[in-house]
Structure 1
Amino acid sequence: MFGSIWQYVYTNFLRYWLKWFIRQVTGKCELQRICSDYTPGASRTTRAENSLQASKNKVLRGALKTSRDHVEQCVDQIMKAKNIKPQKDPLFKGSLHICLLQITGYSSLYTSVEELRKEVFSSENPEHEAMLLKLWGLLMPEVKLECRITKQWGDIGFQGDDPKTDFRGMGLLGLINLVFFSENYTAEARQVLSHANHPKLGYSYAIVGINLTEMAYSLLKCGALKPHFYNTVQGTPELKHFHQLYCYLAYEFDQFWVAEQPESIMLFNQYREKFHDKVKTHLQDPDVSLTLTVGSY
């Protein structure tokens, strides 16, 4: 209870006067100090985001909801509201501009990912079908698919004769991630598939891939991926950056699974959560970068 009272007093009274005092001493507002004291990345952008969220100024709070096309205008409005002169702080505008591109870009990225997740795979859609067949060709280039509905799909880790039923949870997003990994990291994807088809340590490649898409989606939704994207994208995070993150998870999960040597695929959920915890621990590091460093991408 004491902690709650202290938080209320600090947020509503002490923080304002503390910021006022420091500005009188340094001649800089909180956002200026953040942009000048921290190098580009999660440490700077996260602090800028927290500062904007805690501000009582409508212009500053509204910056969090601005669109990509209006970021520059928004920066100008903030500088005017805080009376920041470009002549006295020439680097501030560029630094805050990058922070806002990252902050607002994260929100727009989630919207784009959610749209793909909600898009249902349709066997009547030629583009969807072409993508599915492309996945087979990338992973099994020397094996011809006998027909569209066949038990062969099990060779790349689908559950039934028609893969469309496996995309229900993650929609088109699950397929796009699988294709992106196979197309941009072909050697690694085939290596992972070979491990997945191991007679003793094997697992369902495609099903696990869709499961890892759900993991990536959940981490994005709750904001846990902000440090990663703030460190790795000096601007607006886009869909390709989300797909690259999936590639990291797909490759690293396979390395993790092989190293752990589970006794049975029946223990998948247990090891999946162990891997999930490992990823979340990495994301606690302000310098985190979940980037796959192998391959040709």
Structure 2
Amino acid sequence: MDDRGGSFVAVGGFRRVLIEATRAIQPLFYLVTAEIVTGSTAWLGRGLSCVCAQRRESDARPSFDLTPVQEESLQRLQSRIDVPYDSSIPEHQDALRALWHAAFPEEELHGLISEQWKEMGWQGKDPSTDFRGGGFISLENLLFFARNFPKSFQDLLRKQEGDRSVWEYPFAVAGVNITFMLIQMLDLEAVKPRTLVGAIFLKFLAENESAFDLLYCITFKLMDHQWLSMRASYMDFNTVMKATRRQLEKELLQEDLTRLEDVPSYKLLSR
């Protein structure tokens, strides 16, 4: 029981964030893949839910030993994942302002709580309520995307490419979902990876501390590519996310990958 009277004990920060998000917003049930059982999903938007599920404790999964460098890199990434977004922390406030200025450099932000945030695809005037599903790292991911691939960031933010549906996905909330999905897909809460795709990612992470942020950018652009290919609309978001995850796993499992820049979908990004 936590100090707010909850019925769960949070083992890690990310799990605590998930529990809080699940309390705050309506759960649904989805079958994500054939390898995992149906679990409750924490809704991060009106109709947008994370591609997430719970595994049975009895499921046997392999584990992969880590080199000392990989172990240290994973621990540093887990430390980032454990940080919830806190609107009272100046660093978090500054990062949110920086995201706005990267997204809308010519438009003055009137406040950290403002109707303007809806222009970016947040649910309401206070983005902090949406960060519960992904923590501070989901803000860092968006900011990394904006700074390192500004053209792709703007194209997705303003829906400038392709034949779009009348009812589009909200950019910012989709970004939080992508952070959440990647943490699950790579099994980043575990002490060491229990899937081959997770083990492969940690090799990249040991060589590039920004590997998770870079993979986030690749995934966001891949998701939008899948969205357009599937001629999807708002209520198809979960189907698109599942397809994105399958394609991303397939690309990460290709032979002869030496860095994330070799992943085929990296070519979708533009600076």
> How high is the TM-score relative to the length of structure 2?
0.64
Tell me how far 1:162 sits from its aligned partner: 0.7
Answering whether residue 260 of structure 2 is matched by residue 283 of structure 1, we say no
Tell me how far 1:122 sits from its aligned partner: 1.2
What does residue 157 of structure 1 align with? Answer: 121
What does residue 23 of structure 2 align with? Answer: none
Distance in 1 (alpha carbons) for counterparts of 2:208 and 2:252 = 19
Answering whether residue 260 of structure 2 is matched by residue 259 of structure 1, we say no
Tell me how far 1:189 sits from its aligned partner: 0.1
What does residue 193 of structure 1 align with? Answer: 157
1:14-41 deviation line (CA, Å, top 9, x unaligned): xxxxxxxxxxxxxxxxxxxxxxxxxxxx
Residue number among 239, 261, 264 corresponding to 1:270 in the alignment: 239
Tell me how far 1:243 sits from its aligned partner: 0.7
Distance in 2 (alpha carbons) for counterparts of 1:216 and 1:149 = 28
Distance in 2 (alpha carbons) for counterparts of 1:165 and 1:207 = 11
Tell me how far 1:227 sits from its aligned partner: 3.0
Answering whether residue 209 of structure 2 is matched by residue 209 of structure 1, we say no
Q: How does 1:1-297 map to 2 (within 5 A)?
A: 64=65, 67-68=68-69, 105=70, 107-195=71-159, 200-221=166-187, 222-223=194-195, 224-228=197-201, 230=203, 233=204, 236-262=206-232, 264-288=233-257, 289-290=262-263, 292-293=266-267, 294-296=269-271
For 1:216, the aligned partner's letter is L
For 1:292, the aligned partner's letter is Y
Distance in 1 (alpha carbons) for counterparts of 2:136 and 2:100 = 16
Tell me how far 1:212 sits from its aligned partner: 0.8
Q: How large is the RMSD of aligned CA atoms in angstroms?
A: 2.7
Tell me how far 1:258 sits from its aligned partner: 1.9
What does residue 14 of structure 1 align with? Answer: none
Tell me how far 1:275 sits from its aligned partner: 1.6
Larger helix proportion of the pair: 1
Distance in 2 (alpha carbons) for counterparts of 1:287 and 1:269 = 31
Distance in 2 (alpha carbons) for counterparts of 1:153 and 1:137 = 12
Query: How many pairs are equivalent?
Result: 195
1:203-231 deviation line (CA, Å, top 9, x unaligned): 1111111111112212222542433554x
Tell me how far 1:151 sits from its aligned partner: 1.6
Tell me how far 1:199 sits from its aligned partner: 6.6
For 1:218, the aligned partner's letter is Q
Bigger radius of gyration, 1 or 2? 1
Percent identity over the alignment is: 26
Tell me how far 1:196 sits from its aligned partner: 8.1
1:122-160 deviation line (CA, Å, top 9, x unaligned): 111111101011111111112221222112111111112
- Stretch of structure 1 that moved more, 148-157 or 127-136: 148-157
Tell me how far 1:261 sits from its aligned partner: 1.4
Tell me how far 1:65 sits from its aligned partner: 5.6
For 2:251, the aligned partner's letter is H
Which runs of 5 or more residues in structure 1 are unaligned?
A: 1-52, 55-60, 69-104
